[in-house]
Structure 1
Amino acid sequence: MDIQALEALMHAELPMTAAWGVRVLEAGDGEARLRLDPLPVLLRPGPTLSGPAMMGLADMAMWAALLAISGGEDRSLTASLSMQFLRPAGNAAVVAHARLIKPKGRSLYGEVLITRAADGVLVAHATSGWVAVSPAGGR
């Protein structure tokens, strides 16, 4: 699945990705990189990108990595998401790099590094577990 098709699928299936302006930079081989330019609604006082926005981006990046290896047919569900905020992201674009560590089976697992786009400084680290769901919606 090419990047444009993956981004279009994400925007259609999870409208929040379109509303936030999330862009897919790369995807394949169990990894994905997404970019988020901060909208005023995503900022907290400071101003800096809010924690909920970074958690949402991390979740989106994991899903993108799963979609990339499944040809866009992934219906997995987030089971857990643990986030460590390392420093303020500021009021600038960030990039989330998701990497699947366990991409197959009923339980899936990966990590996401979120960096400032301008200088590559690490601002957050997430780990995430997912549960594979059959295409019909059952477990």
Structure 2
Amino acid sequence: MDIAMDAKALNAFLSQEFEQVAGQYQVERADAAGVTIRLNVSYDHLRPGGTVSGPAMFALADVAIYCAILSRIGPVALAVTTNASIDFMRKPEAGQDLLAECRILKLGRVLAVAEAMIHSAGVDEPVARCSMTYSIPPKR
């Protein structure tokens, strides 16, 4: 399947539409197989004990799935999450960025379903798995 937005276009879109958080995330890959998004982990993402917080991991999954959908349908800023489920499986590595590998499971006219696997950079075992459904607004 062809993609509508590559990594460069997605990064530009995030910078323009979500400037408040764009510097936290970097789209590293966007192709027919899915996307890879990096969370540049900083002090703001940590919880006591020096691990990345659950809300930070959830946000990474949400951004990754949003970008995966946009990579297919183009810059539709009003696509929104309608359902989400996340499993936290192990503690992320201290001092490491997180990577979300995302793939689209189903892309319809109105709904999209996708999955993101989150890993600490350089570590094979996932720290979290998330599935989400997005609502795609009608074309105008």
TM beyond 0.5? yes
Percent identical: 30
1:64 counterpart residue number: 67
Aligned with 2:30 (options 20, 27, 30): 27
What SS does structure 1 have at the residue aligned with 2:118?
A: strand
- 2:9 paired residue among 5, 9, 28: 5
Which amino acid counterpart does residue 84 of structure 1 have in structure 2? D
Q: 1:99-125 deviations in whole A, cap 9, x for unaligned?
A: 110112212111110011122221000
Residue in structure 1 matched with residue 104 of structure 2 by the alignment? 100
* Paired residues, number: 135
Q: How far apart are the structure 2 equivalents of 1:135 and 1:44?
A: 41
Q: Structure 1: which 5+ runs fail to align? A: none
> What's the counterpart of residue 51 of structure 1?
54
Tell me, yes or no, if the aligned pair for 2:98 and 2:120 is still in contact at 8 Å. Answer: yes
Q: Which residue number corresponds to residue 87 of structure 2?
A: 84
Q: How far has the Cα of 1:30 moved from its partner?
A: 5.7
Query: Secondary structure of the equivalent of 2:16?
Result: helix
How far does residue 37 in structure 1 lie from its aligned partner after superposition?
Answer: 2.1
Q: What secondary structure, in the 3-state scheme, does the structure 2 residue paired with 1:24 have?
A: strand
Which secondary structure state, in structure 1, belongs to the residue aligned with residue 27 of structure 2?
A: strand
- TM-score, normalised to structure 2, is 0.88
- RMSD over equivalenced CA pairs, Å: 1.6
